[in-house]
Amino acid sequence: MAGSMGQDNLGQETLDLVDRWWRAANYLSVGQIYLRSNPLLREPLAADHTKSRLLGHWGTTPGLNFVYAHLNRVIRRDSQEMLFVAGPGHGGPAVVANAWLEGTYSEIYGQVGPDEAGMAELFRQFSYPGGIPSHAAPETPGSISEGGELGYALAHAYGSVFDNPQLITAVVIGDGEAETGPLAASWHSHNFLDPAADGAVLPILHLNGYKIANPTILARMPQEQLEQLLRGYGHEPYFVTVHDPDNTEQAHRDFAAAVDACLAGIRAIQDSRRGKAGKTGGADGEAHDGGTTAGAPGNGAAPHWPIIVLRSPKGWTGPRIVDGLQVEGTWRSHQVPLAEVRTNGAHLKQLEEWLKSYRPEELFDGDGRLRPDVATNTPAGNLRMSATPHANGGLLRTPLKLPAYAAHAVDVAEPGTERISPMITLGSWMRDVISLNMENFRLFGPDETASNRLQAVYEVTDKVWQYRIDDVDEHLARSGRVLEVLSEHLCQGWLEGYLLTGRHGVFSCYEAFIHIVDSMFNQHAKWLKVHRKLRWRQPVASLNYLLSSHVWQQDHNGFSHQDPGFIDHAVNKKAEVIRVYLPPDVNTLLSVMEHCLASTDYVNIVVSGKQPSPTWLGPADAANHCRRGLGIWEFAGSEVPGEDPDVVLACAGDVPTVETVAAAELLKRGVPGLKVRVVNVVDLMRLQDVSEHPHGLPASDFDGIFTPDKPIIFAYHGYPALIHRLAYRRTNQEGLHVRGYKEEGTTTTPFDMAMLNGIDRFQLAIDAIDRVPGLAEKHSLLRQDLQDRRIQAREHTRTHGEDPEEIRNWVLNA
């Protein structure tokens, strides 16, 4: 890194090179949006050379290209590992253009070679049927963040640098996306970044002033206010303002100086926190609070990380005036500034002038290859941001070292007699997972790690926090494996960035509030679907959701905290990506989590209660049960070997399992000789046919377990419709009767919740009596008795409702 701090490299020649690269990237970007042939303008541009359907977004593109060209300068100079995150939506043309200039694109996609034919294909394929998207999608080399839905770039960037001390992620934040909630929350991420052990994020707030059709808040607020805002976010801002769009030389000079100052500032902070001498260059890592110096990682010494604010015209270097209206520097350049090139000769001429303004002959040789002098700006090998393995995290991923969970599993002498909190036990196993993987595993959560009972992890690690730490605080430290912030968006965004750069993690969350990230989940699931089809992208660790504090136990919280619908939401995504597990007890939870943490390229959803609940299966049985995904629980039923049961009581989820086993008991006692089969489902996708989901159960197996024709009473953790959906077209779908959550809830006891929604033991037993032919008539007294006891039980819970243990005993012995 010799000379890395010097300004000597900012000579005219260097800036000329950067400018040529920028022009080349801009030329390729315009070409992608407009051209389907004649890529080098060998002939005068004709309407027929242009695409008849113009798709693409020019507005954000030149700014992205500008930043990219400049970053290459410092990457080369310093051999600095950098990752590029393009926040603005529709930044595809820019990122793709740079990847092609760097050679990466042609290395990955042979049909898009580094020559004229390749350039023609590069242009043709963009936003073209069967071609490539307009975003920095999975198909785009160097991308970990699509930007198609705005607002996640900054969180992704932070996720990428955790535990990557040598990496700097440069993230361009559009002023449009800066208005979103997730982005607004992300500014505080540096409070969770340890300058000693993590890398750094260099945010580049790109104020081009406009969204689709409006100015942006950050671009229009007074400059002084913006500066206060960024300082309030804990940043040291460097402003680069392009006053004269034609004076690109000044812009280059200003931006290069800003980049140099920021890198120096980052290194100063890192040096001071890494116990180095600290060759402080531009910005320094001075403390916010007066009392502490930059060098000391003491209290209040959260560093001011540098940020660049680039004010440049939207659609910079594009057509300034079109049809008499200002386009460059306004929202009118958001998509295609010249919309009628096929029908309007003036537009076509303006397009040709625009393309030629980049002087392509200085940039590409006669074969369409990048001229060697311009190519000088390409960093070496994997330092190319389009080729960095950090953006293809599977290349860097090492499997987690998973401790055997046998040491944490509990013995089960008799099913259902002991009560253990599955989450507390899981916490002890997670503690060991963390111990074994201190550099590539993290636990993310919205202030709920302890609330969800995983507190054992604090025996070996802490929660990261850079602001003041007080004596009264517990488990807070400058570094740690747990990230807690009251923003599900941040947890999700950080974790996505962490996974896509090759690491592992778990997001632990209240079940109801995981809906906050529904849309982020959508984007990640879509990313995975495409990623899996790209042979050059290597598998990444699965995104693991551990959902607790679930719908059935919200005595503190009530109706607003009751929503088991995330599973429904997830199941709409591609089957090959989605896995859903509902372990009924502690040992099955351990088994499932071990499986999930070892898996790749999935989204795993695991739902488990945190309150003490019955243990059903010993360690070996639990492992077998989870391997099969579902199974008959003979200990709970009353079957006669070799004979068909009279009724199947099925269940998925911990609370439904308790109620189902109890219902079977009520039936056994009440109807001697009734053959009751109890089926427990751990892996929800087993209910689908194998043609619908890779985990799906073949029809014959399904019929063998659920019978082709006996009544099935299914108690399900979530909304009942999902079970019908998954079991659709099964032989016995007519016999399937599902109970689940039906949006009846309030602040009440868990047992009352079960009753309100009809999944209680009495109702399940009554359901069985009503559906086994002849039973209702023959056992009308039993049925009446169950109904009476049900009503009594509700009364009892309402008058003695505060004590769940008491209620539980009362009901069990009723």
Of residues 417 through 436, those in contact with its own copies by CB under 8 A are none
**According to the binding rule CB under 8 A, does residue 188 interact with its own copies?**
yes
**Residues whose CB falls within 8 Å of the CB of residue 483, separated by 6 or more in sequence, listed in order:** 192, 442, 443, 444, 445, 463, 464, 491, 494
Q: DSSP alpha helices (H): ranges in 248-400?
A: 248-273, 345-357, 372-375
Dist. CA 466–CA 479, nearest whole Å: 8
Stretch touching its own copies by CB under 8 A, among 75-83, 95-103, 225-233, 369-377? 225-233
Q: Scanning residues 88 to 117, which ones bind its own copies (CB under 8 A)?
A: 90
CB of residue 768 to its own copies, shortest distance in Å? 19
Site for its own copies in 264-293 (CB under 8 A): 288-289
C-beta of 228 vs 241, nearer to its own copies: 228
User: What is the per-residue burial (b if ≥16 Cβ within 10 Å, else e) of 580-602?
Assistant: bbbbbbbbbbbbbbbbbbeebbb
Give the CA distances from residue 586 to residues 147, 468, 787, in Å, rounded to whole numbers and listed in that order: 39, 38, 32
**Interaction residues for its own copies, span 699-718 (CB under 8 A):** none
C-beta closer to its own copies: residue 137 or 256 = 137
CA 131 to chain centre: 25
Amino acid at 78: D
Sites for its own copies among residues 354-393 (CB under 8 A): none
**Choice between 574 and 778, CB closer to its own copies:** 574
* Window contacting its own copies (CB under 8 A); options: 129-137, 240-248, 355-363, 532-540: 129-137
Dist CA 96 CA 32 (whole Å): 9
In the bound state with its own copies, the residue whose beta carbon lies nearer, of 71 and 567, is 567
Q: Does 746 bind its own copies (CB under 8 A)?
A: yes
The reply to whether 216 sits near its own copies by the rule CB under 8 A is: yes
Residues 591-650 that bind its own copies (CB under 8 A): none
Contacts of 795 (CB under 8 A, 6+ apart): none
Nearer to its own copies, 419 or 668 (CB): 419
Q: Which 1-60 positions form the footprint of its own copies (CB under 8 A)? A: 51-57
Is 781 a residue that touches its own copies (CB under 8 A)?
no
CB 579 within 8 A of CB 602: yes
User: Does residue number 160 form part of the binding site for its own copies (CB under 8 A)?
Assistant: no
Judged by CB under 8 A, the chain residues 297 through 336 that form the site for its own copies are 300, 302, 326, 329-330, 335
Q: Is 200 in the site for its own copies (CB under 8 A)?
A: no
Q: Closest separation between CB of residue 798 and its own copies, Å? A: 5
Question: Residue 750 and residue 655: Cα distance in Å, rounded?
Answer: 9
Q: Give the whole-angstrom CA distance, residue 671 versus residue 82.
A: 70
Show contacts with its own copies in window 454-483 (CB under 8 A). Answer: 463, 465, 467-468, 470, 472-473, 476
Toward its own copies, which CB reaches closer, 373 or 518?
A: 518
Minimum CB–partner distance for residue 702 and its own copies (Å): 18
Task: Determine if 133 is a binding residue for its own copies (CB under 8 A).
Answer: yes
Q: Find the part of the chain contacting its own copies (CB under 8 A) among 165-173, 435-443, 521-529, 647-655.
A: 521-529
d(CA 162, CA 88): 23
In the complex with its own copies, the residue whose CB is nearer, 130 or 642, is: 130
The least CB distance from residue 419 to its own copies, in Å, is 17
Which H or E element spans position 105? helix 104-108
Choice between 467 and 635, CB closer to its own copies: 467
State which of residues 320, 349, 419, 569 lies at the interface with its own copies (CB under 8 A): 569
Rounded Cα distance, 513 and 180, in Å: 19
Q: Which of these ranges, 115-123, 569-577, 629-637, 785-793, lies near its own copies under the rule CB under 8 A?
A: 569-577
Nearer to its own copies, 350 or 562 (CB): 562
Quickly tell me which residue has 């930007």 as its tokens: 147
Give the Cα separation of 469 and 613 in Å (integer).
36
* CB of 580 vs its own copies, minimal distance in Å: 15
Q: What is the smallest separation between the CB atom of 457 and its own copies, expressed in angstroms?
A: 13
Instruction: Give the C-alpha separation, 489 to 439, whole Å.
Output: 23
Tokens of 377: 């700006």
CB of 782 to its own copies, least distance (A): 27
Q: Which of residues 51-80 bind its own copies (CB under 8 A)?
A: 51-57
- Which member of 211, 453, 550, 730 binds its own copies (CB under 8 A)? 211
Task: Determine contact, residues 520/577, Cβ cutoff 8 Å.
Answer: no
Residues 119, 342: Cα–Cα separation, whole Å: 21
Q: Which of 2, 43, 222, 813 binds its own copies (CB under 8 A)?
A: 222
Exposure b/e, 279-309, CB count within 10 A at least 16 = b: ebbbbbbbbeeeebebbebeeebbbbbbbbb
Tokens for 764, please give them: 């399940």
Q: Is the Cβ of residue 123 or residue 364 nearer to its own copies in the bound state?
A: 123
CB of 313 to its own copies, least distance (A): 11
Site for its own copies in 232-251 (CB under 8 A): 232-234
Dig out the tokens for 563 from the structure: 């929503």
Tell the smallest beta-carbon distance from residue 127 to its own copies (Å).
Answer: 5
DSSP state of 111: T
Residue-by-residue DSSP string for 719-779: -THHHHHHTTT-TTGGGEEEE---S---S--HHHHHHHTT-SHHHHHHHHHHHSTTHHHHT
In whole angstroms, the minimum distance from the beta carbon of 256 to its own copies comes to 27
Which is nearer to its own copies, 671 or 759 (by Cβ)? 759
3-state DSSP of 182-248: HHHHHHHHHHHCCCCCCCEEEEEEEECCECCCCECHHHHCCHHHHHHHHHHCCEEEEEEECCCCCCH
The minimum distance between CB 7 and its own copies, in angstroms, equals: 30
State the nearest-atom distance from the C-beta of 454 to its own copies, in Å: 11
CA–CA gap between residue 624 and residue 680 (Å, rounded): 13
Q: Rounded to the nearest whole angstrom, what is the least distance from the CB of residue 302 to its own copies in the complex?
A: 7
For tokens 């229009």, the residue is 220
What is the nearest approach in angstroms of its own copies to the Cβ of residue 625?
Answer: 27
